[in-house]
Structures are given as C-alpha cells and as structure tokens.
Amino acid sequence: MADSSTASSDKDDRLHLPHPKNSAGRNLPVAITTGVLLGILVIVCLIVPYAWYPMIAVVMGLATYEVWRRLTEHGYDLNLPVLLVGGQAMIWLSWPFGATGLLSAFAVTALVTVIVRLFHSGRTEPPRNWLRDSGVSLFVMFWIPLCGGFAAMLSEMEHDGVRGWAFIVTLMLCVIASDVGGFAAGVFFGSHPMVPAISPKKSWEGFCGSLVVAALVGMAGVVILLKIHGVGGYLLGLGLGLGLALCATLGDLVESQFKRDLGIKDMSTMLPGHGGLMDRLDGMLPAALLTWVVLNAVSAA
C-alpha cells in the first residue's frame, strides 16, 4: 500500500504545471480589462467607415503629448505646437497622398523644428542645448507620428479584393502574439537575460517565445486573412511574423532605454494596468512601418 501511495503521489507531482520562474510584474486583471477595452475600440474603428484615420490621429497626438511632458519634466525643451501640428500633418496628408504626403510633411516639420528651436531664445541670446533638443524632437517625430502614419495607411491598402482591415488585423495579431508568447515564455522559463543593461527582465527564452508564436500567427494571418495561399503565403507569413516580433522587441528595448535615461517606470498612467500609451505602442509602431513596407511591396508585385 505504501508503494502504491508513493507512486500515486509521484504521478500527481508530474501532472502539476510548471511554476512561474518570474513575476508577471503588473496587475493582470486590470491590464486584461484595459486590453479588452482597447481591443473593442480598435474593432469599432475598423468597422465604422472612415473611423481609423481619426483614431490614429487622436492616439498619436496623445502619445506625442505624453512623451513631450515626460521630456520637459526632465529638462528637455521641445516645441509642443510644432510637434503636434507637424504630426497631424503627417497623418492626414498620408490619406490623399500616401507615403509622399507622409514623408513630405515629416521633412517640412523637421525643418521647422530645427529652425524654431534655433531661435527659441531670440536673436540676441545663443540657444542652449540646441543640438540635443533638436535631435530628440526629430526622434519623437519619427517614433510616433511617422510610424503612426504608416499604421494609418494600412487601412487604405488593397490586394486581390482584400481590404485594409485585414492588413491591420494581421499586424495587430502578430504583435499581440509576440507580446503574449514572450510574456508567457519569459515568466515560466526566463533564465538568461537578453540585454540586462537595458531591460533586465527581458530574456532569451521570452524572445524565442515571441518569435515562435508570432511566426505561427503570421502564417495563419497571411493565409486566412490576406488570402495569399500556397508555399509563398506561408513563407511570407513566416517572414512577416518573425520580422514583426523583432520590431516589437526592439521597440520595447528602445522605450526601456528611453525610460531608463529619464529615470521613470512608466510613460504615464493613461492606461490602467499598462502605464502610458507608449508603453503599449512601443512595439506596435515600428511593426506598423515594417508591415506597410512588406505588404505594400507584395501588393505592388
């Protein structure tokens, strides 16, 4: 009887799920609730005609203000009106003129930013930290409204009867899959830090989880949503999923270093359980740029 009891106990132990090796690091119920509400907002904007561009414009404006506020709190001097007006010009001009309108507005805004910052203190007093603040302003414009413009333009893509919503959903599913795969693999198996000097909690195990899950979702998205079948469809989905996982990871590392330089934990408290807008968009924005470049090239072929 003792041997039977011991064997039963050993069997029960083997059935237990692995215990997490690392903490989730956030309030999961609140984070999930916020994520669901954001998902509903995105779905509504995809369903309602002409709602996608206004949503992107509002979100990019709020994200720009969020980052500007954090930077000004730490001594940087950026011109908010120029950033906001230029950012909106990038997004809205991409609607009728595509990438030409987006990049032209970016170039003009960059020029105005540098000139305005040059004469910030007037004609008689030399500018202080001009190079630093101009460079940071250009980074913010690239990071938020420029990448946001590519996300907006995805709604205007069309290929063999597939409308823009399918391209947007494919992008979002791949990035979400990357986040979920990386989060789960990192919590349960993360042991080897990936870039401890920038993001101590990010592990190679988590990165592998991101790549695997995003690749699988990418293949499913390209074949099912974009209706690109055959070996070419699976290869495109595999490459897109891997590329978006890499973009999402690098975007997260960039934002981590940004916050590390400023000595802050979150960009803001705008999204309960997540932090600020850029705490959620850090990986999505560069991934949107890559998605537009890759899928636009495929559509043009």
pLDDT in tens, the chain (301 residues): 445 554 444 545 554 555 555 554 556 677 788 878 888 999 999 999 899 999 999 999 999 999 999 999 999 999 999 999 999 999 999 999 999 999 999 999 999 999 999 988 777 788 889 999 999 999 999 999 999 999 999 999 988 888 899 999 999 999 999 999 998 888 888 788 898 888 888 889 889 999 999 999 999 999 999 998 889 899 999 999 999 999 999 999 999 999 999 999 888 888 877 788 998 899 999 999 999 999 988 877 6
Q: DSSP 3-state assignment of 135?
A: helix
Which amino acid is present at 260? R
User: Whole-number mean pLDDT of the chain?
Assistant: 88
* CB-based contact 284:172 (threshold 8 Å): yes
User: Who's near 73: CB < 8 A, 6+ residues apart?
Assistant: 262
How far, in Å, CA of 145 to CA of 284, rounded?
A: 12
Q: DSSP 3-state assignment of 270?
A: coil
Q: Which residue has the tokens 């975007």?
A: 251
- Residue 204 tokens read as 């190679």
- Count CA atoms within 13 Å of residue 146 on its CB side: 18
Closest to 240 measured CA to CA, from 162, 280, 165, 295? 295
Which amino acid is present at 197? A
* CB-based contact 202:253 (threshold 8 Å): yes
Q: Which residue has the tokens 């120029």?
A: 82
The widest CA-to-CA distance across the chain, in whole angstroms, is 95
